[in-house]
Structure 1
């Protein structure tokens, strides 16, 4: 119910949504300040072939370029925010919209995020760069999100379109899942639980 209400407010009452987002971000950062400080270390522990870290404003231009070169079909089911400079900077600065990059040297290989709320829930998502698919970056990002969620005490959720079975398959590689319900737009709302035995993950979801 809250998911649907939030969607309506965002679509129809943008000014109100901005105020709610600001309040949520400030309260979330206050509630989880000790755990948030630990995130860089957690990401370092989860880094393997790729270096995982928090995104910063200095990454905005490179992130914009990263999104721009991905195939159009990548964004059929991946639309968590705007991908122009303004949209990217907005989420990077949002203290409850945790944004991360997976780096292959100086190149962005993947982007992942946890959109979090003061009610203890977070909605996760990620995208693997076209040139890095099938090389293990999704697994590292998925494990890292599990670790961050555990550290902050957050329940993880994800919405998946029934027309995107690949996303469901990938999610199951790093998480046990529970289908909560079907949303009004036809997507499945699922809850993700950390697996202790992570296996190989494919390119994205």
Structure 2
């Protein structure tokens, strides 16, 4: 229900949506202030051959370039937001839209996010550079999202197309998957649960 309401507000009432987003970000940052400070330690702990870190405002141009360099088919099932520099900068500055980067030396090879809400829910999304697929990065991103989500005490949700078996396999590699409903566009609305 919340998922549908959010999309109606975003698509039809832009000003109201911006106001809701601003209020959500402020309240979320205040109520999770202590936990949010612990995220860099989780990212450092999970880094190895790849470096994981929170995105910063200065990363917006490189992140926009990362998206431009991905083939068109990478966006068939991944359209959580626009990918231009201005939009990415707005997202990175949103205190409730936690954006993460996976780096191979200095190059961005992965992007993932947790869009968090004051009602105790988060929505996840991720992308791996087309030349780095098959190296376990999607699984790594999923594991990190689980750890951050647990730290923040949130329930994690998302959507997966039934025509995207790779995404479902990556989700099942790190979570128990509970399909809540099928959305109007045919995607599964899913809750990602901790593995038992």
Whether these two folds match at TM > 0.5 is yes
Partner Cα distance (1:195, 1:33) in 2 = 27
| 1:54-112: CA deviation from partner (whole Å, max 9, x where unpaired) | 00011111101100000001111101111001111010000000000001100111000
- Does the 8 Å contact 1:48/1:140 carry over to 2? no
Partner of residue 80, structure 1: 80
Partner Cα distance (1:38, 1:28) in 2 = 15
Tell which deviates more after alignment, 181-190 or 90-99: 181-190
Q: Which has the higher contact order (CA 8 A, sep 6+)?
A: 1
- Does the 8 Å contact 2:74/2:130 carry over to 1? no
- SS of the aligned residue for 2:110 comes to strand
Partner of residue 59, structure 2: 59
TM-score (norm 1): 0.93
Partner Cα distance (1:126, 1:108) in 2 = 13
Shift of residue 156 of structure 1? 0.6
TM-score (norm 2): 0.97
Runs of 4+ deviating beyond 4 Å: none
Partner of residue 92, structure 1: 92
- SS of the aligned residue for 1:101 comes to strand
Gaps of 5+ in 1: 197-205
- Does the 8 Å contact 2:28/2:96 carry over to 1? yes
Gaps of 5+ in 2: none
Count of residue pairs the alignment pairs up: 196
- Does the 8 Å contact 1:180/1:191 carry over to 2? yes
